[in-house]
Amino acid sequence: MVDIEKLVRPNILALKPYSSARDEYAGGAGIFLDANENPFGELNRYPDPHQRDLKHKLATLKAVNDNNIFVGNGSDEVIDLAFRIFCIPGVDKALTFAPTYGMYEVSSAINNIELLTIPLTTDFQIDVEKVKLYFADSSIKLLFICSPNNPTGNLMNKRDVEYILKNFNGIVIIDEAYIDFAKEASLISLIDQYNNLIVSQTFSKAWGLAAARVGLAYANSEVISLFNKVKSPYNVSKINQQAAIDALTKFEVYSERLTLILKEKERLIAQLQELVIVKKIYPSDANFLLLEVEHADSLYTALVAQHIITRNRSKQVENCIRISIGTPHENDELVKALKDI
Ligand code: PMP
């Protein structure tokens, strides 16, 4: 067990989460003259700051309690708030791996927190021996593990993740933005076992709601209560809370689309394997593929010229581009364009 209070920025501990008489009002109806809203219209009222309906549905789906869930403005908000809760600017540090998701770096820079990075192994796994060297540094408050990792697509070895959870005296954030596409289950089931574990997920990928900006953190209730202290009161709009609830309600739509994306991924892999310009397709547990090609920069530009936008990741992994799995038609167009280049 990690002493969570010791990790928290001292000014945060004393804060109280936002709450109002209306929030606590159980009946649902009433005359609300407390928030200077316009009394007319359909979207005239502030949304539920606690996102109770959404959390309730998620709690059932994920077999956790409502107070194990934080709902954010995308999971990028989870990353940002974690820095603000646990790291004193200019003093504390965070740790992650390379290559990985870029927002850990961006958010740490915005918050004036030094982000240390450890290179992943050649098969993009965690080098536990190197991580161990950092365990003694008590200024490292956060450790980000992206699994499946962006941009490489692989899951991190569960044994290594558990070793870190057991031995690191700070907060471990497992970013599971792509977990619904993966062959292994989420690590949410470990939140009761490790009080330093935060699992972040999102409605932006498998749930198809990137426009809505709804992200999630799962952790023990003590950690979740810290997120509630620092979030802005109405961080997720009513429209977006409803969009997420609707997506959860239409579970068949979600699962049909997920199945199609996974099928398309296999079809695309088979077609890409036939192309000489594709030197390597890295194994992927996500809805994207990392391809090693002859000349990533020129290939990327050639695809842009055909109005096909991919992600040139050659600065992180030499001569690699990352492609998202599209619709069957989009994938066909990609393969056609690649054949013509
Ligand atoms: N984590 C990872 C690994 C991602 O790739 C992304 C988005 N590309 C996010 C988090 C952010 O997702 P959201 O839309 O929930 O902010």
**pLDDT single digits (tens) 48-82:** 999 999 999 999 999 999 999 999 999 999 999 99
Chain CA centroid to CA 58, Å: 16
Residues 158 and 259 reside in one and the same domain: no
Phi and psi of 324, rounded to 5°? -80, 150
Q: How far apart are CA 64 and CA 131, in angstroms?
A: 30
Q: What is the 3-state secondary structure (H, E, C) of 237-265?
A: CHHHHHHHHHHHHCHHHHHHHHHHHHHHH
Q: Are strands 114-119 and 93-98 parallel, antiparallel or unpaired?
A: parallel
User: Distance (Å, rounded) from C-alpha 93 to C-alpha 112?
Assistant: 9
pLDDT at 27 over 70: no
Ligand 1 pocket: which residues have CB below 6 Å? 74-76, 101, 146, 150, 175, 177, 202, 204, 210, 215
Give the position, in ligand 1's atom list, of the atom nearest the Cα of 75.
15
Co-location of 131 and 189 in the same domain:
yes
Residue 28 has pLDDT above 70, yes or no: no
Q: Ligand 1 center to residue 172 CA distance, Å?
A: 17
Q: Same structural domain for residues 187 and 52?
A: yes
Count of alpha carbons within 13 Å of 36, Cβ hemisphere only? Answer: 0
Can you give the residue range of the structural domain that contains 105? 4-249
CB-hemisphere CA count at 13 Å for 157? 12
**Token pair for 288:** 């994207």
Same domain, yes or no, for 98 and 113?
Answer: yes
Q: Which atom of ligand 1 is nearest to the CA of 178?
A: 3
- Tally of domains in the chain: 2
Domain holding 72: CATH number? 3.40.640.10
- Which residue, 279, 172, 180, is CA-closest to 218? 172
Q: Same domain for 115 and 220? A: yes
Same domain membership, residue 279 and residue 161: no
Q: At 68, list the tokens.
A: 């194990």
The residues facing 96 across adjacent strands are 117
* 151 and 175 fall within a common domain: yes
Render pLDDT for 275-303 as a digit per residue (tens, 0 to 9).
Answer: 999 999 999 999 999 999 999 999 999 99
Q: How far is the CA of 202 from the centre of ligand 1 (A)?
A: 7
Atom nearest to 72 CA in ligand 1:
15
Average confidence score pLDDT of the chain: 97
- In this structure, are 328 and 289 located in the same domain? yes
Which of 77, 97, 101 has the most ligand 1 atoms within 8 A of CB, as the residue to mutate?
101
Residues 150-169, mean pLDDT to the nearest whole number: 98
Ligand 1 centroid vs 194 CA: distance in angstroms?
A: 23
User: Do residues 244 and 333 both lie within one domain?
Assistant: no
